[in-house]
Structure 1
Amino acid sequence: MYEKLMEEIDVGVHAIDTDGRTIMYNRKLSEIENMDPEEVIGQPIREVFRFTDDGGSTLHRAMAEGKEARNEKQTYMNKRGVEITTINHTFPVRDGESIIGALEVTKDITRLERLVQENMRNGSRRYSFEDIIGVSPALKEVIDHARRAVRTTSSVLIVGETGTGKELFAQSIHNGSSRSPGPFISQNCAALPESLIEGILFGTVKGAFTGAENRLGLFEQAEGGTLLLDELNSLSPDLQSRLLRVIQEKSVRRIGAQEEKKIDVRLIATMNEDPIDAVTEGRLRKDLYYRLSVVALFVPPLRERMEDLPVLTDFFITKYNDLFQMDVQGVSAQTEGLLTDYHWPGNVRELEHVIEGAMNMMTEEDRIEVRHLPLHFQKKRRREAIVPEPAAVENITLKDYLHEAERRFVLEQLERHRFKIQETAETLGLSRQSLQYRMKKLGIRKTMR
């Protein structure tokens, strides 16, 4: 029972004796550290792992100091050089007054740590045109136009659907220009209520209203650099009017202030709808549109540049291989077909989320299969398996059509359950014997357990 508990418990367990040799090392910890227990048990811990922290191994420290430590973070490397980050509960083991070893209970936060580090890198990263992934003529044309905008200080309007990478273009323009040493300030205009956005944009002086303090607005914070206003069309007409005045006069007055202050800021604005429609329907002032669109960039949606899909897919697989310590080689032919046929309403951002989600569903596979994709992709494949295109069944009988549709559907369910007969039979509402009969009838061979 003790051995069964050690193998099934969902935390790592590691114990060493007074010589620092491992005497207990359970299955969960071997998964966390990507080590075979035979490589660890009986070996001095310092010969198997390399500890980068100044304090060294938390197990050695607990034994040497005789103190318990709870929720202590530790980063170290296994013998293959793979970095691991854990949260440990470590304590000495005593026999009377003597310390005879140390025991550690471990939770893996390697993936969480990598995600945090990735977010920190992304938060401070300075993107350039080289970071815009794609080979399609449509995308290259937009990049070419954006590069020309680097040479000037004119306002830029970037139009594109959600998830197409508008901020990537904005940062690239800023970082390629002479303003790159200056700040790049970004604000989503739809993320805050109108009562707050005015003070955030233009700044406030103490006493202007209850609770008001002397505070720089975004225009003053972006002095000498670039201010990106995302979803500009969500601003009210009054705020758009004041924004137009700031652009024209190149000066800003804080809320409650009597004097204006000169500013040197390049403005880049983004919209996720056609600006002509926004002007016609009153969501965007015509004069502000003309002022902003001195340089206008229209980023195409992913469905209009499907040549970029394989390149983007490979890029995101590589990204999450590094982040998740995986070795995914690509996508299966069936998965590629579904990705290509999809209309991608969320564009590149949605593609990234699909790849990330699929890789979270994988275990030891080296390619993303249909079963790893979100449910709506799997349902689409199931519908296509049951109802093929008319052209594909034009010259076959109804009997043959039904035979092929049943075969494809049963095979899909078997693949989904890794050819486990009992699980597949339960999903299909069949007995084990009935499924085996159908497999024989349909010519499906059992290839996995």
Structure 2
Amino acid sequence: MPIGGIAIRARELAKKLNSEIVQYVLNAVQEGILIVDKECRIAYYNCTLSRLEGLKIDDVVGRVLFEVFPSITPQDSTLCKVLETGAPIRDRLQEYFNYQGKKIQTVNTTIPLIDAGEIIGALEVSRDISLVVSLTDKISALQQGIHKGKFPPKGSTLFSFASIIGTSAKIRSIVKLLKKVADTTSSVLLYGETGTGKELFAQSLHKEGLRCNKPFIAQNCAALPETLLEGILFGSTKGSFTGAVDKAGLFEQADGGTVLLDEINSMSLPLQAKILRVLQEGVVRRLGAAEDSSVDVRVIATTNEKPADLLKAGRLREDLFYRLSVICVEIPPLRERREDIPDLIGYFIDKYNARFNKLVTGIAPEVMTVFQEYGWPGNVRELEHVVEALLNFADDGIITGEYFKYLSSGTFPGFVEQRSLIAAAEKPGNYFRAEFYKQEKEQIVAAMQKSGGNVTQAAKLLGIKRQALQYRLKKYVVFQE
């Protein structure tokens, strides 16, 4: 395009960006936004990016990109590549220095800006991951130190099967099964709702197996962007991306031990394929490397959704599922093992008595009744948090229902409140008691019929929580007018 045409296009782009609505929206988002024209001259630079990079907007807009960021070259720049090819670049990890020497670490998505079929600029959205990378590097360094014997073995802090609280048949059968396979090298897939204690079982499996003196390394697959997660798992070589250094990944660090991939259902399908290769061939290849490295790791994976649902939705590779699920175990939700609730409560009371220097001895029968009736959607983790909250307000003796008034967050307080309202209506001498129950029962029956027996949908129709409806359904089975 002639120079005059480029200048016209640049002015058109600047005019579009000067709209008050556009300015408001772009400055309101938490991600950094950078827009350049066809000549890589910065046309827009939002407030979030200004705070991140420590640069004033007026000092940046109108200048060529490489003047402001001298460590970036046209060959490295994703903006330049998008301007040249017209193809978006998504979730690209980038490390660079601004002209003040400050190191910036982001995950970027870059797209072309097209007007009348012609590329007039490019927009880049940057998510700051500097803190995540810093924490990850510290964990990685600690894990490598453990592997090299500089620190006490991580295995010494892990839970064992003896740490698992509960005498229910379901829990005991799971413990018995996992003990049998603890000494093998087979992959294990644990699935269950959030808060059921899947990592506790994974740690126990490692702790009581032949690999107990080798590293146990856990990685949450949902907590990090894909590009960063891949580098953490497989490692990197110098030059594999901007700012990359030679660094072993978690599979190499855990050689001889166990890697726990938590929430593997959050991992992209391409990355799942690379995990499959580790399982099948026992090799990893660092980002940017030309050769493979052999690793000997046992892989334990967890998911908070049923594998059948993930396979049907195409969110879990079928070949990876079959390779992972040599041993496949479902960890039951707390509502299916209610007989374990008293033991769990006792364990958590002892735990927080020691932590808070309290002398609580137990809970009153009416409190136990509430605990047994509640559905515990957050499972054991939610139960622990409720007990912890109650011990903040009780110094000694028995926790009674009076302490419920201090709870203010989560679904449990709502359940307690609705239960209290129903109890008030049940008091003898209440003139409206029979009519109240009759109308409520009719509404519940109608909602259940309309939803085809689906409790969740019926609860939505009635405008109440699922646990509250479950309580009423149970109550009306035995209620006699």
Aligned to 1:300: 332
Contact 2:155–2:215 under 8 Å retained in 1 = no
The CA deviation at 1:385 is 3.6
Q: 1:121 to 1:333 in 2, by over 3 A?
A: farther
Q: 1:355 to 1:385 in 2, by over 3 A?
A: closer
Q: Matches of 2:210 and 2:153 in 1, distance apart? A: 23
Match of 2:181 among 149, 152, 159: 149
Match of 2:241 among 196, 209, 232: 209
In our comparison, the structure showing a higher alpha carbon Rg is 1
In structure 1, runs of 5+ residues without a counterpart are 1-119, 403-449
Contact 1:230–1:269 under 8 Å retained in 2 = yes
Q: Displaced runs of 4+ in structure 1, greater than 4 A?
A: 120-124, 376-379
Q: 1:358 to 1:388 in 2, by over 3 A?
A: closer
AA aligned opposite 1:371: E
Aligned to 1:347: 379
Match of 2:193 among 161, 172, 175: 161
Q: Matches of 1:314 and 1:268 in 2, distance apart? A: 30
Mapping for residues 391-402 of structure 1, pairs under 5 Å: 398-399=430-431
Q: Matches of 2:357 and 2:420 in 1, distance apart? A: 34
Q: Does 1:188 align with 2:220?
A: yes
Mapping for residues 170-319 of structure 1, pairs under 5 Å: 170-319=202-351
AA aligned opposite 2:227: S
Q: Matches of 1:383 and 1:210 in 2, distance apart? A: 56
Q: Matches of 1:205 and 1:230 in 2, distance apart? A: 25
AA aligned opposite 1:372: Y
AA aligned opposite 1:245: R
The CA deviation at 1:382 is 4.1
Normalised by the length of structure 1, the TM-score is: 0.59
**SS of 2:230's equivalent?**
helix
AA aligned opposite 1:246: V
Q: Does 1:362 align with 2:394?
A: yes
AA aligned opposite 1:234: S
Q: Does 1:380 align with 2:411?
A: no
The CA deviation at 1:381 is 3.8
The CA deviation at 1:383 is 3.2
**SS of 2:179's equivalent?**
helix
Q: 1:384 to 1:349 in 2, by over 3 A?
A: closer
Q: Matches of 2:430 and 2:352 in 1, distance apart? A: 46
**SS of 1:186's equivalent?**
strand
AA aligned opposite 2:397: D
Aligned to 1:432: none
The CA deviation at 1:177 is 0.9
Count of matched residue pairs: 279
Q: Matches of 2:398 and 2:155 in 1, distance apart? A: 30
The CA deviation at 1:379 is 4.6
For residues 2-26 of structure 1, give each alpha carbon's deviation from its aligned partner in whole angstroms, at most 9, with x where no partner exists: xxxxxxxxxxxxxxxxxxxxxxxxx
Contact 2:236–2:249 under 8 Å retained in 1 = yes
**SS of 1:307's equivalent?**
helix
**SS of 1:329's equivalent?**
strand
The CA deviation at 1:389 is 9.6
Contact 2:154–2:215 under 8 Å retained in 1 = no
Mapping for residues 95-134 of structure 1, pairs under 5 Å: 125-134=157-166
The CA deviation at 1:369 is 2.1
The CA deviation at 1:122 is 10
AA aligned opposite 1:279: L
**SS of 1:161's equivalent?**
coil
Q: 1:151 to 1:211 in 2, by over 3 A?
A: same
Q: Matches of 2:153 and 2:316 in 1, distance apart? A: 35
Contact 1:155–1:291 under 8 Å retained in 2 = yes
Q: Matches of 1:382 and 1:129 in 2, distance apart? A: 37
Identity of aligned residues (%): 49
